Amino acid sequence: TYRVELGLDMHSLPAVVIIRAKSDATVAPLLVYLSDYQEKDGFKLPMQLHVHVKDGPAFADLASQEVYVKTAELRPQYSADDFKP
């Protein structure tokens, strides 16, 4: 299990996320910056995520991972046939 702490931007959207392992203090936390929000299927979705790892007592200045969402379909239209083996 994990504990997630959110920091909101001026539009009340998550801008900063710290993810910590709830039961294992030896697992280093992650810092994630969320940006470039776009509306997709009625949801505001961050299209860029920059992940920073712990570097000594602080988080690294440079992101260890950068995620760019190119497309998103949050309300796909499925039928019963889509779930047949």
pLDDT in tens, 31-49: 999 999 999 999 999 999 9
Amino acid at position 60, single letter? A
pLDDT of residue 53: 97
Question: What percent of the chain has a predicted confidence (pLDDT) above 70?
Answer: 100
Which regions in the chain score pLDDT beneath 70? none
Q: Which residue matches tokens 């602080």?
A: 58
Q: What is the dihedral of CA 13, 4, 71, 77, to 10 degrees?
A: -100
Cβ neighbourhood burial of 32 (10 Å; 0-12, 13-18, 19+): buried
pTM for the full predicted model: 0.85
